[in-house]
Amino acid sequence: MVREILEYPDPRLRDPGKPVTEVTDEIRTLVDDMAETMYAAPGCGLAAPQIGVGLRVFVVDCAAEDEPSDLRVFINPEIIEKDGQVVWSEGCLSFPGVTEEIKRAERVKVRALDRDGKPFELEADGLLAVAIQHETDHLNGVLMIDKLNALKKRMMGRKLAKARAEAGSA
Contacts of 117 (CB under 8 A, 6+ apart): 22, 23, 75
Residue 61 φ then ψ, to 5°: -145, 105
Find the DSSP H helices in the chain.
Answer: 25-40, 126-139, 150-169
**3-class DSSP assignment, residue 161:** helix
CA nearest to 14, candidates 38, 39, 48, 49: 49
- DSSP summary character for residue 147: G
- 166: annotated active-site residue: no
CA distance 135 to 139: 7
Within the chain, how many helices (H) and strands (E) appear? 3, 7
From the candidates 26, 36, 67, 135, give the one annotated as an active-site residue: 135
First to last CA, the chain: 25
Q: Which residues are catalytic?
A: 135
